Amino acid sequence: MSSANDPGLRSWIPVSEDSHFPIQNLPFGVFSVGGEQPRVGVAIGEFVLDLCALFESGKLRVQGLEENVFAASSLNPFIACGRSVWTDVRNTLSNLLREGSGELRDDASLRDRVLISRTDVRLHLPIEIADYVDFYSSEYHATNVGRMFRPDNPLMPNWKHLPVGYNGRSSSVVVSGTPIRRPMGQTKSDDAPAPSYGPSRLLDFELEVGFYVGVETALGSQLDVSRAESAIFGVCLVNDWSARDIQKWEYQPLGPFLSKSFGTSVSPWVVMLEAFEPFRCDGPVQDPAVLPYLSQSEPRGVDMNLEVWLKSASMTQPLKIAATNFKHMYWSMAQQLAHQTVNGTNLRIGDLYASGTVSGPTEFERGCMLELTWRGEQPIRLAETGEERKFLADGDEVTMTGWCQGQGYRVGFGEVTGQILPAIG
């Protein structure tokens, strides 16, 4: 295990026990201050560490890092440097920031220049996204949705044999805080003779965890499941907004299209996959046994707490409406990536892969409104105002958060948030 993951580490920068950004994390993102150009930083406690300025100072030198890739407006140039550079940069930052290290702490001029309060920065989309793929990897979610429409046979015959997914639209992936416009499209009720056009009435969120690819592979090549995680740079939170009524009418025979492509929100901080090493766990038993190219011997899961909070336009405080854990996912990140490439699909730096809705075994662990309200038959009551929600209303703000709990510290993402704006058209 990396020394940067040592649970006993503490930083000379004060970090509260409930912060998502202790020294064991050090997630990467892109930020700007005022009218300055965006650049790369790392979150530590209540601060952003300016890696661009730190590199220029000469205190962030690692083998293979010849240019100031942290001056870029995305993480892509840094990611292109390769895994050894990612790891060495994280380890170097850990050494600079850990308790007892005075190299940066005692240089008051540099310290004040490179440490910026998180309240003073604007966060940007961290990665220039190449392709976007969304999976359907929670057995609880797939079973719940299947029961709504096929009570006697909720899981399709292929579901336990391969990670089901679809190709999404990278152009509409946005950073947390970007408003989401209610989509227009065709819908058709069961008793209507023909479809109608208008705003979606069944707008939903989907609680997901995503990962970014950090390597380029050749067209026609395959990535073995045992090596798949080595191709992953980092992990983020994803809200895959979904228009359920548009989806119901359009999805046969080729699956989601306009019901998904209008917006996908991601968290601004990208946690390196190796930061989750202390929280790895076994995933659900896969029965029947998967085909050899998907067989994974190491622990497939991550013990990661996930929550969803909802705030209507009339509320003063958000309400937690769901809480689950990523360890429930049937298909792992490595299996998803291995399956993606088994036909020879090539990978690109910045590819985003999302898990699909994360749900658990209890009703409160359901990761979307479709499940939480059971198609609207069991509305959620917002206690502060007495409002009810079957699906999302204009003005509603959805906030998702996630973290792994260590002994006296957390490794998390912060939040991914989006507010619904009225439809136009």
Domain ranges of the chain: 3-124, 132-421
Cβ–Cβ < 8 Å for 237, 266: yes
CA-closest candidate to residue 290, choices 343, 338, 229 = 338
CA-closest candidate to residue 127, choices 74, 180, 197, 56 = 74
Cβ–Cβ < 8 Å for 245, 201: yes
**Distance from chain centroid for Cα 413:** 8
Helices (H) and strands (E) in the chain, counts: 8, 26
Q: Tell whether the torsion through CA atoms of 297, 404, 45 and 206 is positive or negative.
A: positive
pLDDT per residue as tens digits for the range 259-298: 999 999 999 999 999 999 999 999 999 999 999 999 998 8
Q: Omega of the bond prior to 157 within 30 degrees of 0, cis?
A: no
Residue 141 has pLDDT above 80, yes or no: yes
pLDDT per residue as tens digits for the range 313-347: 999 999 999 999 999 999 999 999 999 999 999 99
- The catalytic site residues sit at 141
Which CATH fold would you assign to the domain 3-124? SH3 type barrels. (2.30.30)
Cβ–Cβ < 8 Å for 357, 223: no
> Is the pTM higher than 0.95?
yes
pLDDT per residue as tens digits for the range 369-394: 999 999 999 999 999 999 999 999 99
**Rounded mean pLDDT, 213-239:** 97
Measured CA angle at 179 (ends 176, 184), to 5 deg: 130
Cβ–Cβ < 8 Å for 306, 328: no
Average pLDDT over the chain, rounded to whole?
97
CA-closest candidate to residue 238, choices 337, 358, 373 = 358
Residue 368 has pLDDT above 80, yes or no: yes
307 CB-side CA count, 13 A: 15
Structural class in CATH, domain 132-421: alpha beta
Model pLDDT, residue 1 = 67
